[in-house]
Amino acid sequence: FILLRERMSDRKWVLRKFRIGWASSSANKKRNKLKIHVGTLSHTSVENKSIARLTKHLDAVRAKASDMMASYESQESYLTERSDLKESKNLLP
């Protein structure tokens, strides 16, 4: 799938998913409002590029999530240590 932009009557841009095999030249002539922003790339390289982009994005999201979990766990352990210290201070005479 690739994203297409279709200009609507109210001049808003709408992103639209669309199967690559559907975009023949005659279909593009009939639907001249639709513009495919792929440049001179072939279909397979477009698919590979989008897959690579999605993979890179997913890797970044995974890295951020693991960083957030690590910081959360360190904060949780810090708070647990603090509460243990407070309890031990309260137990002292």
3-state helix, strand, coil in the chain (%, to 5): 60, 15, 25
Beta-carbon count within 10 A of 61 CB? 10
Q: Which residues of the chain have pLDDT under 50?
A: 1-4, 6-22, 33-42
Measured CA to CA, the distance from residue 29 to residue 18 in angstroms comes to 16
The model's pTM: 0.36
In 22-41, which positions are buried (b, 16+ CB within 10 angstroms) versus exposed (e)? ebeeeeeeeeeeeeeeeeee
Residue 71 has what pLDDT? 83
pLDDT, tens digit, for every residue of 40-55?
444 556 666 777 788 8
